[in-house]
Chains A and B, each alone.
Chain A
Amino acid sequence: MQEMEKERYELNKNLAQMLKGGVIMDVSTPEQARIAEKAGAAAVMALERIPADIRAAGGVSRMSDPKMIKGIQAVVSIPVMAKVRIGHIAEAQILEALEIDYIDESEVLSPADDKYHIDKTKFKVPFVCGAKNLSEALRRIVEGASMIRTKGEPGTGDIIQAVRHMRAMMSEIRRLQSMNEDELYHAAKELQVPYDLVKYVHENGKLPVVNFAAGGVATPADAALMMQLGAEGVFVGSGIFKSGNPMKRAQAIVKAVTNYNDPKILAEISEDLGEAMIGINEEEIQLLMAERGM
C-alpha cells in the first residue's frame, strides 16, 4: 500500500512536470474554457466566479457546482482543475469523485478550517497549494501537495504580492543551498518542516515539486517577470476574462511564458491587447487572501 501511494504521488508530480512552461487559466463557463484551450492554455481552472468577482461580491465562497465543472470537462481535452476551501475534506472528496485532474486547495475561497489543511496523502488525485514562502511551501508538500504556486493576491491584477512570494521562496532556497550540512537541522526547526525536505532543497536548489506563479498576473510582461524570477509556469485568474480582449490577451500570455527571456518577442506580443483589467492596488484592498492558511 505504501508503495502504491508513493507511486501515485510520483505520477501526480509528473503531471505537474508536463504543465511546465504553460499557462493555467481560470474559466467559469464551457465557452471560456474553449477560448482558453484555443489560446493555448496548458490547463484550465474551473470556478464559478473568478477571484475579482469573489472579491467584489464578498460573502462566503465555496467549491463550484459539480455540474458546471462537468460541463467544462466535457468540452476540453486539456487537464481541468478546480478549487476547494482550505481544510474542506468533503469538497475534495467530491472533486475526486468527478475525476478532476488537479485540486487547488485555495485561499481564494473562504477557508473551512483555520488550523488544519487537508491531509492530501489520503487522496489519489493531485493537489496544488499556495505558499508565500519556503516554510509554507514545504509544509504543504509534507501534507501531500504535488505542486506549489505562489499565493500572490488573487483578483487584484496587482503583481506585487506574487513577486514578493516568489522572491522570498527563491532567496530562502538559495540560503539553504549555501548552508553547511550541520546547519540544516536548525534550519528544519526554523522552517517547521522535516529534515529530509530541507536536505533535498539544500542538495537540489529547488522544491521537490513544480512551482508556478499565481495571483495578480494581468499582462504578458507580468508572466515573463514571474518566469524570470524562477516560476516554472503561470496561473492567470481574473487577468484574462476581466480584460477587453480575452482571446488575444490569453494568447499573448501563453507566448510570453515560452519566450520570457526574449524582450523583442515580448514587445511584439504586448502590442495592442486592448484594455487590461483595471485591478486594485495592494493598499486599496481590504481582504488579504494570502494571509489565509499558513
Chain B
Amino acid sequence: MALQGGFIEHIRHLQSLEADAFEIRKKTDLHREMDGLILPGGESTTMGILLKESDMFDELKLKIDSGMPVFGTCAGLILLAHKIAGTEITYFASMDIVAKRNAYGRQLGSFYTEAELKGIGIIPMVFIRAPYIESAGESVEILSVVNDRIVAAREKNILVTSYHPELTSDNRVHQYFLKMIT
C-alpha cells in the first residue's frame, strides 16, 4: 500500500527476493492481480484517512479477512489491530491484538536493537516512534519479544512487526512473508 510512508523500502526488499510488487494508491489498483499485501510504516492516522477517502477500505478488509496474506510494519500493525489502546478508533481490526501507539515515546525514544524473530533467528530491529503489542489473543503466535514487550506476531494470514525490517539490509522477514504466500 503506497498511500503514505516508507513503501519504497518494502518494494526494494521484495525485488531483492525476485518477487513482483506494485504500488496501491487508488481503487483501480486493487483490480490488479495480487497474492499479498504490505502495509508499510508511516502515520497510521494519515493512512487510515486516505484508505477511507479513496474508497479502498471495504475491499481491502474483505481481502484480508478472507485470508489474503498481509504484512504490517509499525503503522501497518496499528491498522491491523483489533483494538488500539486509549482510543475507540480502529481500522481493519483483523488481528486479535491490542496495539499501543507511540509506546516508546517520541523520537528520542526511537532505538535500534538485535533480537530474535521466532523461525528466523537474530535480526536487526529498527524502532521508530514504534508501537508494541499490549496483549494478544490465544490464536496469535508471538514471534518477537524485546524488553518484555511483544513486538512481532502472527495470526493465520497476518504478520506484524512493530519494528522496520525494510529499513535494514536484512531481507529475511520479507522472505518469511513470501513463504506465507506460496
Contacts and interface: CB of A to CB of B under 8 A. Distances in A.
Interface string A242-263: 0000000001001101110010
Nearest to B84: A77
A77 B45 contact: yes
Nearest to B87: A77
If over half of B's interface residues share one DSSP class (helix, strand or loop), that class is named, otherwise mixed; here it is loop
B123 to A, nearest CB: 16
Interface in A27-52: 37-43
Contacts of B9: 17
Interface stretch (B105-113, B138-146, B154-162): B105-113
B128 A262 contact: no
Given A10-B112, A125-B108, A126-B107, A77 B74 contact: no
A7 interface: yes
B49 A99 contact: no
Contact of B167 (A17, A39, A79): A17
B111 A255 contact: no
B50 A102 contact: no
Interface residues on A, range: 35 or more
Interface residues on B, range: 35 or more
Given A14-B128, A258-B3, A101 B107 contact: yes
B105 A42 contact: no
Interface of B: 2-9, 25-26, 41-43, 45-46, 49-50, 53-54, 74-75, 101-102, 105-108, 110-112, 126, 128-129, 164, 167
26 contacts: A10-B112, A14-B110, A14-B126, A15-B107, A18-B6, A18-B41, A19-B43, A20-B8, A21-B3, A21-B4, A21-B42, A22-B4, A22-B46, A40-B45, A40-B49, A43-B43, A73-B106, A77-B102, A99-B108, A100-B107, A101-B107, A251-B53, A254-B46, A255-B54, A258-B50, A258-B54
Interface of A: 7, 10-12, 14-15, 17-22, 37-43, 73, 77-80, 96, 99-102, 124-126, 251, 254-255, 257-259, 262, 265
Q: Nearest 9 CB-CB pairs, A to B? A: A40-B49, A101-B107, A21-B4, A11-B110, A42-B43, A99-B106, A40-B46, A17-B6, A22-B4
